[in-house]
Amino acid sequence: MERTKPLRDIRSLSIEDLSELTSELGQPAFRAKQLKEWIFEKNVCSFDEMTNLPKAFREQLSERFSFNTPVEIAKQVSKDGSRKYLLQFSDGTSVETVGMPSRNKLAVCISSQAGCSMGCAFCATGLAGLTCSLTAQEMVDQVLHVAHDFGERVTSVVFMGQGEPFMNFDNVVDALRMLNAPGGLEIGARHLTVSTCGIIPGIKRFAELPEQFTLAISLHSAVQSTRNKLMPGVKKYTLPRLHEAIQQYVEKTGRRPTYEYAMIDGVNDNNPEMEALIEFCTGTLCHVNLIQLNDIPDSPLKPSPMEKVETLQRRLTMYGVETTVRHSRGGDIDAACGQLKQRRNSAKKIILPNA
């Protein structure tokens, strides 16, 4: 879907562009350095904040450029400290973002697309389909918004919100590099994680990146028929092909991928499913995150009892598979992807595809 175009975002200009701009507007050369500091180091969101620039110069800038930062149209605060935001960009596109504080750290879960085309049965985001992909700056702006709201430095970011990151690969990589860049947010590469449904071409391209960004794969079942029902958008990327691509990734990078496994009562938590997951993981370099499914209103899919989650953790550990139980944050708010947006747009029922 084509998006309306507001004034050009000044943050899209290079250092050379800023130098040319200041010269064109009759300003001395040092103004370009001041602009760079405000935009890329202090991460301001308006020209009014650039207090050491002449007012007339700021007015000239505002006539030609903008800061297309998102507007917060809804926020929920959990008793565990997590905050869920619904942010709207200047063209009306809205996305969800989550801030999760813990022990002097602040993690942010951001969206790479507005909506999603993958159609996963357990995810509220896919109900309305894909609206559009986000720019790199729009992804970074979600992180900046959370940082400003908490008044803290963000220490890690996961691309695990709305959208499939590898269906927006180039912009996601640009965003990763902006978040990692010296003089900017300077978040370590190993603290920047991209979660994919299992888009094999994207996994192969990701393996070629020189930076040590982290890879997570939404697996959710190691039984092909079950995974096809839960994740129809990646049906063509079969489990044997996915397993091969991940092993190639490990050989190329030496990095440990994470498998996200949301446990769904009566769907992927029975003994055959557990055996298949153990077989998929045993003997490979990986980490398994077991998660109780977020309980989405009106969905027929419900979270597995914690006893089953803990049983699977023990079984995986017994086979030498590094496994943790990830306790969902924001359980008392609409923390799952798409829930807050769906609530505002009046939720529709989620239906598990027929067997």
Residue 3 lies in a domain: no
Report the number of distinct structural domains present in the chain.
2
User: Is 233 within 8 Å of 117 (Cβ atoms)?
Assistant: yes
Say if residue 57 is in the same domain as residue 107. Answer: no
CATH number at residue 258: 3.20.20.70
Say if residue 259 is in the same domain as residue 155. Answer: yes
The predicted model gives 235-241 an average pLDDT of: 97
Mean pLDDT is lowest, of 44-48, 268-272, 283-287, 330-334, for 330-334
pLDDT digits 0-9 by tens, 250-293: 999 999 999 999 999 999 999 999 999 999 999 999 999 999 99
Residue 136 lies in a domain: yes
User: Is 280 within 8 Å of 223 (Cβ atoms)?
Assistant: no
Strand-pair partners of 156 = 107
Say if residue 253 is in the same domain as residue 208. Answer: yes
pLDDT value of residue 44 = 87
Confidence at 341, pLDDT banded by 50, 70, 90:
low
Is 337 in the active site? yes
> In the sheet where 322-326 sits, what is the strand order?
71-77, 83-88, 94-102, 105-109, 156-159, 192-196, 214-218, 258-263, 287-292, 322-326
Say if residue 50 is in the same domain as residue 95. Answer: no
Q: Which of 20, 96, 120, 251 is catalytic?
A: 96
Residue 353 lies in a domain: no
CATH number at residue 45: 1.10.150.530
Say if residue 60 is in the same domain as residue 167. Answer: no
Confidence at 299, pLDDT banded by 50, 70, 90:
confident
Residue 92 lies in a domain: yes
Query: Which pTM value belongs to this model?
Result: 0.87
- Secondary structure of the chain: what % helix, strand, coil (to 5)? 40, 20, 40
- 227: domain range? 71-344
**C-alpha dist (Å) from residue 64 to 9, 20, 35, 47, 133:** 9, 14, 15, 12, 25
- The residues, any chain, with a CB within 8 Å of residue 51's CB and separated by 6 or more, are none
48/55 Cα distance (integer angstroms): 8
Quote the DSSP letter at residue 264. B
331/1 Cα distance (integer angstroms): 33
Residue 1 lies in a domain: no
Residue in 179, 355, 333 with CA at minimum distance from that of residue 267: 355
Q: Which of 109, 116, 197, 337 is catalytic?
A: 337
Say if residue 60 is in the same domain as residue 84. Answer: no
Say if residue 35 is in the same domain as residue 75. Answer: no
Confidence at 124, pLDDT banded by 50, 70, 90:
confident
Say if residue 142 is in the same domain as residue 281. Answer: yes
Residue in 274, 226, 228, 256 with CA at minimum distance from that of residue 322: 256
Residue 8 lies in a domain: no
Is 186 in the active site? no
Say if residue 318 is in the same domain as residue 254. Answer: yes
